[in-house]
Amino acid sequence: MFPNLARVTYDDAAQALKEHYTVTGDRDVTEASYRLAHLDRYFKGCRLATIGMRDSEAYALHRQRQGASNGSINRELAVLGRMLKLAYEHNRLARMPVLRRLEESSPRQGFFEAEAFAAVRRRLSEDLQVAVMIAYTFGWRMQSEVLALEQRQLSLDGAGTLTLDPGQTKNGEGRVVYLTPELKLLLTEQVARVKALERSLGRIIPALFPHLTGRFQGKPRRDFRRAWATACRRAGVPGMLRHDLRRTAVRNMEQAAVPRSVAMKLTGHKTENVYRRYAIVSSADLRAAAARLSSYSSGDSRGVALETRSASS
């Protein structure tokens, strides 16, 4: 029933997992490959049947000594677990070992107040200012969703829309958002920059956010970690992450009383449980709540109504 199990190696199972992700689209292959890179270096050449809980704990210790967080290690062990489960389902593994998750710290609470975001944004190039504004407004993931956009996915007709194709998002579902007036203006200017570059280079550029200068001119921009870190440092908020823009968008939607079902469509959160983790409450939010309660306790219901109406406008 389980032929040649002794010959099945980690390398065989890792290749089978990549092929599975490619065929089924269950997970982004690039993201999975990033996780697999760490696993590959540790488990390369190991017989699959020998990998169990003690090996996973030894791997976790190895990664902790390299400075990896427990959250990152858990994501990597989840990929290893999926690999083992797939091998078991394909009769290439006789038993399914148990891999214990590590205790993780509380989810990151980072988000931008409007003034801090504006300060960071001012210190980025014009095209990157547009990219971060999309993430700040709709909570889209920077590398896989915003920077991956092509010109064909933008429509400036009417109110204007941005479209993500099915399979381009983490949850595998397509997405359409209507542009705010500010974003429509910014994106109109961005398209003009790309069209000018097309005329200069004499070729069509599909990307909405290509490199505008330098040796990669015209090629899709994949990242801007260094520019982001520099902008945050100069704006006085070092250490902020681009993913904090996603948390900020969710918080802003909550404060703007956008229905949660609509907000989840905009951000691409598939479950309310995960969405709620992004609905950060700041100390300013708590102070505002205390002020409302104080007005209510003193019997000033009119003040509460006025303040609530002002907050929602």
Tell me the three-class secondary structure of the chain, residue by residue. CCCCHHHCEHHHHHHHHHHHHHHHCCCCHHHHHHHHHHHHHHHCCCEHHHCCHHHHHHHHHHHHHCCCCHHHHHHHHHHHHHHHHHHHHCCCCCCCCCCCCCCCCCCCCCCCCHHHHHHHHHCCCHHHHHHHHHHHHHCCCHHHHHCCCEHHHEECCCCCEEEECCCCCCCCCCEEEECCHHHHHHHHHHHHHHHHHHHHHCCCCCECCECCCCCCCCCECCCCHHHHHHHHHHCCCCCCCCCHHHHHHHHHHHHCCCCHHHHHHHHCCCCHHHHHHHCCCCHHHHHHHHHHHHHHHCCCHHHHHHHHHHHHC
> Which residues form the domain of 303?
283-312
Do 156 and 234 have their domain in common?
yes
pLDDT at residue number 311? 47
Among 7-21, 99-113, 162-176, the minimum mean pLDDT is found in 99-113
Model confidence over 185-206: pLDDT tens digits?
999 999 999 999 999 999 999 9
Q: In this structure, is residue 45 part of a structural domain?
A: yes
Q: What backbone torsions phi and psi does residue 161 show, to the nearest 5 degrees?
A: -140, 155
Inform me whether the pLDDT recorded for 60 exceeds 60: yes
Q: In this structure, is residue 190 part of a structural domain?
A: yes
Quote the mean pLDDT of the chain: 85
Inform me whether the pLDDT recorded for 43 exceeds 80: yes
Inform me whether the pLDDT recorded for 302 exceeds 80: no
Mean pLDDT score, 230-257: 91
Strand order in the sheet with 161-164: 154-155, 161-164, 175-178
pLDDT at residue number 309? 47
Closest by CA to 246, choosing from 96, 132, 125, 139, is 139
Do 250 and 121 have their domain in common?
yes
Position with higher pLDDT, 31 vs 134: 134
pLDDT at residue number 287? 61
pLDDT at residue number 116? 94
Residue 161 — pLDDT band, cuts 50, 70, 90? very high
Do 306 and 235 have their domain in common?
no
Inform me whether the pLDDT recorded for 3 exceeds 70: no
Mean pLDDT score, 211-238: 95
Residue 294 — pLDDT band, cuts 50, 70, 90? low
Mean pLDDT score, 127-151: 95
Do 137 and 267 have their domain in common?
yes
Closest by CA to 144, choosing from 296, 301, 30, is 30
Among 167-181, 249-263, 275-289, the minimum mean pLDDT is found in 275-289
Q: In this structure, is residue 182 part of a structural domain?
A: yes
pLDDT at residue number 303? 47
Mean pLDDT score, 167-174: 73
Closest by CA to 124, choosing from 102, 107, 142, 148, is 142
Do 156 and 38 have their domain in common?
no
CATH code of residue 160: 1.10.443.10
> What's the structural domain count of the chain?
3
Among 82-96, 246-260, 289-303, the minimum mean pLDDT is found in 289-303
pLDDT at residue number 167? 72
Inform me whether the pLDDT recorded for 12 exceeds 70: yes
Q: Which residue, of 56, 89, 122, is where some domain finishes?
A: 89
CATH code of residue 49: 1.10.150
pLDDT at residue number 301? 46
Do 260 and 244 have their domain in common?
yes
Do 78 and 209 have their domain in common?
no
Inform me whether the pLDDT recorded for 276 exceeds 50: yes
Do 233 and 287 have their domain in common?
no
pLDDT at residue number 27? 64
Among 56-65, 256-265, 299-308, the minimum mean pLDDT is found in 299-308
